[in-house]
């Protein structure tokens, strides 16, 4: 499967007898040559991962968050203030 014009673009050496070599062909296709001790050499095509573009998260003030304490305790619940405890958000 390895041809004369294929270039090695990455070598991953696990130990002295196990390694993976990634080759690229002139048409820009890639494949991996797996070398393992006491096993025949194998070849595989690397999996393509989905790339998502980074977007900034929305502003928290613009998202309508439910007031979960009011939903849990009800509208008429009176919360008691704890002395010395400051806001923590």
CB atoms within 10 A of CB 2: 13
Please give the DSSP secondary-structure letter assigned to residue 30. Answer: E
pTM of the predicted model over 0.85: no
The confidence band for 39, taking pLDDT boundaries of 50, 70 and 90, is very high
Distance CA 24, CA 34 (A): 15
**69-88, pLDDT tens digit by residue?**
778 888 888 878 888 877 76
Domain range annotation of the chain: 7-44
Within 1-89, where are the H helices? Answer: 68-73
Q: Where are the beta strands (DSSP E) in 25-78?
A: 30-35, 42-44
**17-30, pLDDT tens digit by residue?**
999 999 999 998 89
């Amino acid at each position: 499967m390895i041809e004369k014009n294929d270039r090695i673009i990455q070598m991953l050496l696990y130990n002295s007898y196990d390694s993976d070599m990634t080759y690229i062909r002139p048409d820009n296709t890639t494949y991996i040559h797996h070398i393992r001790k006491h096993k025949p050499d194998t070849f595989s095509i690397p999996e393509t991962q989905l790339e998502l573009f980074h977007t900034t998260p929305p502003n928290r003030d613009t998202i309508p968050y439910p007031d979960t304490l009011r939903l849990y305790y009800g509208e008429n619940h009176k919360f008691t203030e704890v002395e010395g405890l400051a806001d923590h958000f």
